Amino acid sequence: MKAGSVSKFIFAVCVAIAALKADRFAFIISMITLAAAALVIWTRQFRYLIEVARTVIWFFAFIFILHLFSRGGVKLFSLLFLTATREGAATGLFYGAKLVVFALSAFIILRTVDPFELIRPLERLSRFLGKYGRPLSYSALALSLALRFIPDLIRQAAITRMALNTRGVTFQGGAISRLRAAVMLVSAVFVSAFKNAESTAMALSVKGYSTRHTRAVLPRINFSISGIFTAAVSAAVVIFGWRY
């Protein structure tokens, strides 16, 4: 299905909104299935599903355990002074499933959406608005750059962590040692991100992006059957999620 970046972005956002609003577990499971199928079809790779699982597993476990011991209801078992209940387990699974939907939606945006193709309609709209559309044009450019560099930021974090490991900094041990390692990782990643942002700003200035609002040649917006179908499915998802 060769849907455009705009329809893919709308689909991902609509799935997340529907999951946020819905209060039935069966509907959340259907959103997980739909989003996972879309991610595999559009990327043609199953490894991204593994990445999603590895990303959310600890957050899922935290949410499940938090609700398991904090809800009243039918007792399942006791652990020291904590009591696990059937209602807590059901609530934890429900909100954990919602987290999986949000993660799948984020991966769809990061792995399948072309940032510059996504902002073309906004740039056309800003040009139609004339000088009043300049803030919209600049905001669209900022959005595209953010989507473009988030995967690079994640990759830089992984590289920085390996570099710290080779220098004897580990993320194991007590809470204090882990916190120190995390601070070193975050500091290094943010310094690298600021340097990349400065270099990108200089490159955009040299290439004349300040005149893009008035002088850039924007390609035509093509509508495809798959894109229209994806948009229709997105609308149906939001309607059902809002209703049920």
**What confidence tens digit (pLDDT) does each residue in 19-37 have?**
888 888 888 998 999 999 9
Mean pLDDT of 99-109: 91
Is 216 domain-assigned? no
Identify whether residues 199 and 229 lie together within a single domain: no
CA dist., res. 244 & res. 155, Å (int) = 39
Q: Are 5 and 109 in contact (CB under 8 A)?
A: no
Identify whether residues 191 and 241 lie together within a single domain: no
For the chain, the average pLDDT equals 79
Identify whether residues 107 and 227 lie together within a single domain: yes
Identify whether residues 28 and 105 lie together within a single domain: yes
Maximal CA-CA distance, the chain: 69
Identify whether residues 136 and 107 lie together within a single domain: no
**pLDDT (tens digit, 9 = 90+) per residue, 184-215?**
887 887 777 777 777 777 776 776 666 665 66
Q: How far is CA 244 from CA 13, 99, 200, in A?
A: 18, 18, 45
Identify whether residues 85 and 155 lie together within a single domain: no
Identify whether residues 59 and 150 lie together within a single domain: no
Domain of residue 140 covers 118-207
Q: What is the pLDDT of residue 241?
A: 73
Identify whether residues 78 and 174 lie together within a single domain: no
CA dist., res. 52 & res. 196, Å (int) = 27
CA dist., res. 67 & res. 63, Å (int) = 6
Q: What is the pLDDT of residue 183?
A: 80
**Residue 11 scores a pLDDT above 50:** yes
Structure tokens at 9: 């972005």
Question: Which stretches within the chain are classed as H helix?
Answer: 5-21, 25-43, 47-68, 86-112, 115-118, 120-128, 134-166, 175-206, 212-215, 225-243
**Residue 244 scores a pLDDT above 70:** no
Structure tokens at 126: 């800003």
- Assessment of whether the complete model's pTM goes beyond 0.75: no
Name the domain count of the chain: 2
